[in-house]
Amino acid sequence: MNARGATLEIEDVTLQFGGITAIRNLSLRANPSELLALVGPNGAGKTALLNCINGIYQPTVGAILLDGLDIGGLPLHKMVEHGIGRAFQHAELFPHLTVTENLLIGRHCRFRSGLWAAGIYFGKARREEMEERRRVESVIDFFELYRHRDMQVGALPYGVQKMVGVARALCMEPKLLLLDEPCTGLIREERENLARFLLRINHEIGPTVIWVEHDMQMVSDLADRIVVLNHGAKVAEGVPDVVRRDPVVVEAYLGHAATA
Amino acid sequence: MAAGSPYLRVSYAETNRIFPEPYQRVVVTAALVALLAVPFFGSGYLLHLMNLTFLAVIGAVGLNLLTGYCGQVSLGHASFMAIGAFVTAILTNLYAAPFWLAVPASCIIGAAVGFVVGLPALRFRGIYLAITTLAMHYAIIFILTTYQAKFGSSATAGISIPAPVIGSWQIEGGRSWYYVLLLTGVATVLFGLNLSRSYVGRAWVAIRDRDIAAASVGINVTRFKLLAFVTSAALAALAGSLGAYFSGVVTVEAYTLELAILYLAMIIVGGMGSIAGSVLGAVFMTLLPFWIEHGFDMLPPNWRLGSTSYGLQEAAIGIVIILFLLFEPKGLIEIYRRIALYFERWPFRYRELSPAERR
């Protein structure tokens, strides 16, 4: 489970819905294996940007390059094959399937056997199922989800569901991992676990991570670089210490109290 | 747990078995042996009923893969069966096609029609999809009615089909058909169970639960929706083709909208998204009219409804659907699951919390 991090280049992207501009002339670059945090107030365009990278939205103007390849206009389901894994803000798991089955769906693209082989469950189809199960178990180990393995996801607490969401994204062996507010709604212990997992993902597996987050303290402690969005435009970018002292960021995001 | 315990699983192959529990394997083996033995002591009437049930099982598994697993509501199931039956009739009458050729050919044509009927599913969901499949049903039935009027022996008598021959074995009579249909039924159920534990089944459930999330985890939603339609239609056509051979005559009047609804009733009663549920539902709904008839036979003579009890049988389908949706929405299979859970936890019991305790 060792993924090479990809370079992501966002070049002058604008996203409009009718008269509303969600993202305005945004350019940014994520370096290989970097943990890049994306922060900004509600409605700043963070999730919209992830949706553009992920292919759920098509940018009105601009290009998105993954390792130099233009991925704009590719169908949604092709993104996993190009190495983009996404964990959603509300996990978006399949509630009637177990944790293991949800993670196996994360490995859907690796299955090569046809309908007949799957229906007869013989030879390659059977071997594939075992092989992918083995890989999924290593992700279950990584996220310490053992005791939830055979539970239906819909019956699990919210915090565990979000962890399964991140685990499912990691099952895709992404070169670029998109995490949409993985900590929101978690209790303190779960947040600390997630921080640990994020560092382990960064150090041991090594995909490029784009991490949307609200918790400025956590972001400053963990991220390599921070990009601050406000009203769909980039207002600051850089290493945490610099960004936190940027007066524009303080004004837009941290509020005046922080300057006092 | 001790080594060699039936509850200790040491490989993924063991966890992925269709029947993971030892008692399940014992019960299923015993049931299969019993089924194989039925023709030796069962009456002709019983064999006929069971043959009808096997045909229903094939169709119900097909519909459950599409509607229960993939979540695509289809009212076109009867027309897929009609396609299977008519392709068989045409191939045997016009081209003298043998059994082993006519049945697969019917499945393939059925699958092709399923593909076309499935195309609107890429745009529509839920009730809108149901309406488009309903329109397709009537279009197909119209074409077949026209065909039957033109080429059938008469407009209403339908098209007769000679008894099929495999090698030197002519499949005729309840007992021969029993083994053919039992074998096909078991094969279909195994096919469905295997699909449901493979990546195909998981993809279908993912599309049913959340289609955009399914696409973003790499599932080609278009492909798998169409695959569900194709598989389901092929199985319906298989049931239609075998049913045509079995009854020896094909009439378009047999493939009504009521039949499509009867199949939906089977999977609702049995359990949506469960292959075992499709089997239970198919058995229940096939035998229901016979139970009603027997029930009336037990009444004093002047209380019996005579031929009007037929209308009651139709109404019973609706009543049963309503009762199940109200009191057991997950179907008969949920009753089995509850019983299995009771014994798994025995001697402890799970008590539902009262609203006061829940707060």
C-alpha A7/C-alpha A5 separation (Å) is 7
B3 pLDDT more than 90:
no
C-alpha A141/C-alpha A99 separation (Å) is 12
Distance from CA of B231 to the nearest CA of A (A): 9
Whether CATH 1.10.15 fits B42-358: no
C-alpha B133/C-alpha B261 separation (Å) is 12
Residue from B10, B66, B198 to probe the interface with A (highest A Cβ count within 10 Å): B198
| CB contact A57 to B (< 8 Å) | no
- A235 within 8 A of A225, measured Cβ to Cβ: no
Task: Give the containing element (helix H, strand E) for B148.
Answer: helix B126-151
Q: Where are the domains of chain B?
A: 1-37, 42-358
- β-bridge mates for residue A236, sequence order: A228
Beta strands in chain A (DSSP E): 8-17, 20-30, 35-39, 61-66, 69-70, 84-87, 176-180, 208-212, 225-230, 233-238
Distance from CA of B200 to the nearest CA of A (A): 7
State the DSSP string of B291-355.
HHHHHHHHS-GGG--GGGHHHHHHHHHHHHHHHHHHH-TT-HHHHHHHHHHHHHHTTS---PPPH
Please tell me the predicted confidence (pLDDT) of residue B21: 84
| Nearest-Cα residue of chain B relative to residue A89 | B213
- Residue B275: its chain A contacts at CB < 8 A? none
C-alpha A91/C-alpha A42 separation (Å) is 19
Please tell me the predicted confidence (pLDDT) of residue A258: 47
Sign of CA dihedral A99, B213, A132, A168: negative
Helix B199-209 × helix B221-247 angle, to 10°: 110
Percent pLDDT > 90 in chain A is: 71
Please tell me the predicted confidence (pLDDT) of residue B78: 96
**SS3 label, residue B267:** helix
Strands A35-39 and A225-230: parallel
Please tell me the predicted confidence (pLDDT) of residue B1: 46
- Residue A93: its chain B contacts at CB < 8 A? 213
- B287 within 8 A of B56, measured Cβ to Cβ: no
Q: Determine which of A121-125, B91-95, B192-196, B233-237 has the lowest per-residue pLDDT on average.
A: A121-125
Q: Are B219 and A77 inside 8 Å of each other by CB? A: yes
C-alpha B235/C-alpha B64 separation (Å) is 11
Please tell me the predicted confidence (pLDDT) of residue A259: 47
B353 pLDDT more than 60:
yes
- B80 within 8 A of B114, measured Cβ to Cβ: yes
- Model pLDDT for residues B140-168, shown as the tens digit of each residue: 999 999 988 887 766 567 888 888 888 78
Residue from A51, A52, A71, A115 to probe the interface with B (highest B Cβ count within 10 Å): A115
Tell me which residue of A223, A221, A231 sits closest to A253, measured CA to CA.
A231
C-alpha B182/C-alpha B166 separation (Å) is 16
DSSP alpha helices (H): ranges in B152-172? none
- Residue A86: its chain B contacts at CB < 8 A? 216
Tell me the CA distances in angstroms from B51 to B37, B165, B212, B309, B316, one per residue in order. Answer: 14, 18, 42, 23, 22
- Model pLDDT for residues A135-192, shown as the tens digit of each residue: 999 999 999 999 999 999 999 999 999 999 999 999 999 999 999 999 988 999 999 9
Percent pLDDT > 70 in chain A is: 96
| CB contact A120 to B (< 8 Å) | yes
Mean pLDDT of all residues in chain B? 90
Percent pLDDT > 70 in chain B is: 96
Is the pTM higher than 0.80? yes
C-alpha A210/C-alpha A52 separation (Å) is 13
C-alpha A10/C-alpha A26 separation (Å) is 7
- Which tokens is A25 given? 């002339």
- Residue A71: its chain B contacts at CB < 8 A? none
- Model pLDDT for residues B260-319, shown as the tens digit of each residue: 999 999 999 999 999 999 999 999 999 998 888 888 888 887 777 667 767 777 888 889
Mean pLDDT of all residues in chain A? 90
| CB contact B189 to A (< 8 Å) | no
| CB contact B155 to A (< 8 Å) | no
Mean pLDDT of A243-257: 76
- Residue B344: its chain A contacts at CB < 8 A? none
Please tell me the predicted confidence (pLDDT) of residue A216: 86
Q: Are B200 and A77 inside 8 Å of each other by CB? A: no
- Which tokens is B324 given? 């199940």
- Model pLDDT for residues A16-71, shown as the tens digit of each residue: 998 889 999 999 999 999 999 999 888 888 999 999 999 999 999 999 999 999 99
Question: Among A106, A118, A126, whose Cβ lies nearest the Cβ of B195?
Answer: A118
- A59 within 8 A of A13, measured Cβ to Cβ: yes
C-alpha B24/C-alpha B48 separation (Å) is 28
- A39 within 8 A of A234, measured Cβ to Cβ: no
Please tell me the predicted confidence (pLDDT) of residue B126: 85
Question: Among B199, B200, B215, whose Cβ lies nearest the Cβ of A77?
Answer: B215
- Which tokens is A243 given? 């960004």
Residue from B199, B205, B330, B341 to probe the interface with A (highest A Cβ count within 10 Å): B199
Mean pLDDT of B227-238: 97
- A108 within 8 A of A171, measured Cβ to Cβ: no
- The owner of tokens 């996404």 is A86
| Nearest-Cα residue of chain B relative to residue A112 | B199
Rg (CA), chain A: 19
Chain B segment 204-263 residues within 8 A of A by beta carbon are 205-206, 209-210, 212-221, 227, 231
Kindly provide the ipTM of the predicted complex, given to two decimals. Answer: 0.91
A212 pLDDT more than 50:
yes
Beta strands in chain B (DSSP E): 159-160, 165-166, 169-170, 249-250
A114 pLDDT more than 80:
yes
- Residue A108: its chain B contacts at CB < 8 A? 199, 202-203, 217-219
